[in-house]
């Protein structure tokens, strides 16, 4: 990689420290620059300081939930272009629809597949849906 190239920057937002570490470690191993936040308020600070290319957003966050935060991001000119992918243990029928209605560009269920999360993120960054995520 030349000096002008950079690794895509991913923000992982999850209040579960084990999940946050696992996803972050796997993405770092796959060559991504990873930022982390445990709630929406911390994520807002990270985004202001160092805007990511993609956000993996847990839906069930303390305080402002992930869908509300996504709606907020998608209404602001400075952040509406950021790809947001719901990363959640919610797997009930229709939850993926609620995520997309909130502005999420995709939906990944937990537990994550550590073998494919990097390529799934790459697919979203390239403008496509991840495996099994359906069209955007």
Phi, psi of 116 (to 5 degrees): -120, -5
- Name residue, tokens 């991840």: 130
Give the predicted TM-score (pTM) of the model. 0.89
Structure tokens at 125: 């960054």
pLDDT of 46-90, one tens digit each? Answer: 999 999 999 999 999 999 999 999 999 999 999 999 999 999 886
* Domains, the chain, ordered by start: 9-125 (3.40.50.2300)
pLDDT band at 37 (very low <50, low <70, confident <90, very high): very high
pLDDT greater than 50 at residue 136: no
Kindly tell me if the per-residue pLDDT of 7 is higher than 70: yes
């Amino acid at each position: 990689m030349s000096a002008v190239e950079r690794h895509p920057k991913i923000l992982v937002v999850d209040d579960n420290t084990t999940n946050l570490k696992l996803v972050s470690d796997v993405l770092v191993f796959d060559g991504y620059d990873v930022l982390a936040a445990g709630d929406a308020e911390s994520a807002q600070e990270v985004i202001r300081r160092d805007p990511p290319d993609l956000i993996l957003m847990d839906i069930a966050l303390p305080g402002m939930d992930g869908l509300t935060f996504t709606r907020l991001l998608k209404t602001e000119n400075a952040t509406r272009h950021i790809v947001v992918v719901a990363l959640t243990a919610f797997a009930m029928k229709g939850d993926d629809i609620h995520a997309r209605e909130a502005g999420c560009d995709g939906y990944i269920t937990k537990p994550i597949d550590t073998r494919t999360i990097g390529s799934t993120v790459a697919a979203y960054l390239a403008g496509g849906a991840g495996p099994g995520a359906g069209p955007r």
